[in-house]
Chain A
Amino acid sequence: MKLPHLLQIEGLDREQITTILDTAEEMEAVGQRELKKIPALRGVTIVNAFFEDSTRTKMSFDLAAKRLSADTMAFSGKGSSTSKGESLRDTVQTIAAMGIDGFVIRHKGSGAPQRAMDWTGLPVINAGDGMHGHPTQALLDAFAMRHALGDLEGKHVAIVGDLFHSRVVRSNLHCLRTLGAKVTLVAPPTLLPPGVRDWPVTQGCEITTDLDAVVEDVDSLMMLRVQRERMSGGFFPSESEYTDGWGLTRERLARLPEHAVICHPGPMNRGLEIAPEAADAARSLILDQVAAGVSVRMAVLFHVFSGGEGSAA
């Protein structure tokens, strides 16, 4: 399978997603060896262009590329020519002119990775763009859950919290539903994206503001970070009220089915959307998600950057 790029989960079918996850299994095995490196992308130069702050995604992509023997260059918006006013277009075209093979891009503007691809003609992997999508996060979440729960067909996943600002939720919805999972969205009324009930991908999903009504019925509870930095107005009266209504508290943790797992894309606001007991519980996949990130990104890089012209998709 050859992927020309990875801008979003939308458009990938079940077979493609499964192939990426299966490849990630093999990549995980590479990560467990004494020599954690394979020559698959030797001679490929990838630029990690992070116009927006990130720790885990950036390091995870960098490690993934290095484990595949690719050469990487890092670019961050801060301290670069963008702070002198250089446009995204000039920046990516300048980097592309150095003879690189492709980009991993994170940008606060939705659609920036697509534009970068249009401007440079190079393959681009979206590492999170604005409120649009975060495809590798969705894939790594699915990977970690598949590990813990088995095939996701028919499994019930509740995505809880700040849906309004989350790019993770859109990508996850597509990914999970393509894999056959049942998804319930839970959020305070003010943090439900406008028109969410009319999105094609939410058709057939339950959308509720009542976390207590679903907590006993889930196989996986995915808590989202309250994105304080993106909140200009008051989306809820107080933090304690948010925790009472939509946090994974000790009480709710006790009500989760025994086999159910907990996910959080990080970074966490401990005590706000997730209690420390839940974050550190044995059934918490939070660190598994981080580990899965490297394997899944290796798989995505492999499918995008190996395979020649004319490869079948």
Chain B
Amino acid sequence: MTPSKTERGAESLSTGAPASTDDDSRVVLGSDEIARALRRMAHEVLERNKGGDDLVVLGIPTRGVYLAQRLAALMSEVEGREIAVGTLDITFYRDDLRRNPTRKMEPTTIPADGIDDKIVVLADDVLYSGRTIRAALDAIGDIGRPRAVRLAVLVDRGHRDLPIRADHVGKNLPTSSRERVHVSLAEHDGIDEVRISGGAR
């Protein structure tokens, strides 16, 4: 189910289907830039972690899942061994469940070894209000007790409602709250692209 486009403060406002090309939208990250950003983030995560020990990358549906898979693949390549990856659905943990249409749930898949005492890297496409990440932290708390949780996002567009910040950012993108950020990923949308639209008028 497509989230309401008018809801204030929800992360979903900042992402979604690719922007139509007949409006005032402009590309802020192309395919090569996204690839470079992810490669840099993968190295940053490994450097911060001093290698790939105990790392679990969890993607937040929808597009965070693909980003998590790409980050884990890049890190696996560097480390020469498999970095665990999973998905974390946060539908049940949203604080706006009573006010908005229920979302379609995606499976939560946690690597067989679990997340206890692991370093969990949460991956998402856009960091906006911080409410999705708050929900993700609650969800993680119900699944296990990681040693640490870090956050990797492709785009940080500001406008936080909660005291949450990302550890690894593909691109900081200062936006007006009237603007919309559209992340497209090849696995889901057929193209790698970050567009920004609205707010100019």
> Which residues in A have some Cβ–Cβ distance to B below 8 Å?
1-2, 19, 22-23, 25-26, 29-30, 33-35, 37-41, 43-44, 68, 302-303, 306-308, 310-312
Nearest to A68 among chain B residues (CB) is: B92
Indicate which residue in A19, A29, A37, A307 contacts B97 across the interface (CB closer than 8 Å). Answer: A307
- In whole Å, how far is A38's beta carbon from the nearest beta carbon of chain B? 4
Q: A19-B104, A29-B108 are in contact. List 4 more A-B contacts (CB 8 A).
A: A1-B104, A23-B105, A26-B107, A40-B91
B100 in the interface (beta carbon within 8 A): yes
Please tell me if the beta carbons of B97 and A26 are within 8 angstroms of each other in the complex: no
Is chain A's binding surface mostly helix, strand, loop or mixed? loop
User: Which residues 93-110 in B have Cβ within 8 Å of A in the complex?
Assistant: 93, 97-102, 104-105, 107-108
- Most A CB within 10 A of own CB, among B105, B143, B144: B105
Nearest to A35 among chain B residues (CB) is: B142
CA distance A302 to B92 in the complex (A): 9
Please tell me if the beta carbons of A308 and B98 are within 8 angstroms of each other in the complex: yes
Nearest to B114 among chain A residues (CB) is: A34
B70-112 vs A, Cβ < 8 Å mask (1 yes, 0 no): 0000000000000000000101110001111110110110000
> Which residues in B have some Cβ–Cβ distance to A below 8 Å?
1, 89, 91-93, 97-102, 104-105, 107-108, 138, 142-144
Please tell me if the beta carbons of B142 and A308 are within 8 angstroms of each other in the complex: no
Knowing A33-B143, A39-B138, A306-B97, say if A26 contacts B89 (CB, 8 Å): yes
Please tell me if the beta carbons of A312 and B1 are within 8 angstroms of each other in the complex: yes
Indicate which residue in A19, A39, A310 contacts B93 across the interface (CB closer than 8 Å). Answer: A39
Indicate which residue in A39, A43, A311 contacts B101 across the interface (CB closer than 8 Å). Answer: A311
Please tell me if the beta carbons of A33 and B102 are within 8 angstroms of each other in the complex: no
CA distance A26 to B103 in the complex (A): 13
Q: Which residues of B contact A19 (CB under 8 A)?
A: 104
Q: Which residues of A contact B100 (CB under 8 A)?
A: 307-308, 311
- In whole Å, how far is B91's beta carbon from the nearest beta carbon of chain A? 8
